[in-house]
Amino acid sequence: MPKTIKLEPHLGSEELEERYRKARDPVQRSHYQILWLISQGRTTSQVMEATGYSRGWIQQLARRYNADGPDALLDRRHQNPGARDRALLTAEQQEELAHALTKPPPDGGMWNSRKVGEWIQRRTGRVVSQKKQRGWEYLKRLRQSPKVPRPQHQKADEREQEAFKKSSR
């Protein structure tokens, strides 16, 4: 028979469900969902299937909850002491990037993830591996999106398009 994990009675099943449904932080929401499912008597395999998390992580989360209660469910990445030191850009540099994004990129065209990664590399002097990924991360952090020009058919006739635009007004 599959094993179920036993939880300390810090919170009841209803309270875990309520916190799961009200959580705004996606990581905390997932943590509450896992514990809520466990509190309903679901097996680890069923919780794995429902949430997509591994058996080891589910067990570790349950151990943390049993030891420290609901405070153990916070997203610990937010308190990571070295995260600021490992960030590619300081707060000032992020502001500078936000200002740069209001103008065309140095090579013309539109800002995309790769161009942002290259801007970061030029500005910081640090080698940025995975320029597209890191550029995308900073675009999202600044609530921007990569810009892509509208597609244009290779056989499009500009004169016909202009005539159509004028006649459709």
pLDDT tens column, 55-100? 999 999 999 999 999 988 887 776 777 766 678 888 899 999 999 9
Tokens of 19: 């916190």
In this prediction, residues 104-129 reach a mean pLDDT of 89
Nearest to 124 by CA among 132, 116, 112: 116
Nearest to 4 by CA among 32, 31, 38: 38
Return d(Cα 102, Cα 88) in angstroms, integer: 20
100 CB neighbour count, 10 Å cutoff:
16
In this prediction, residues 48-53 reach a mean pLDDT of 94
Residue 84: its pLDDT value, please? 66
Q: Are 46 and 37 in contact (CB under 8 A)?
A: yes
pLDDT at 46 over 90: yes
Say what the pTM is.
0.52
pLDDT at 169 over 70: no
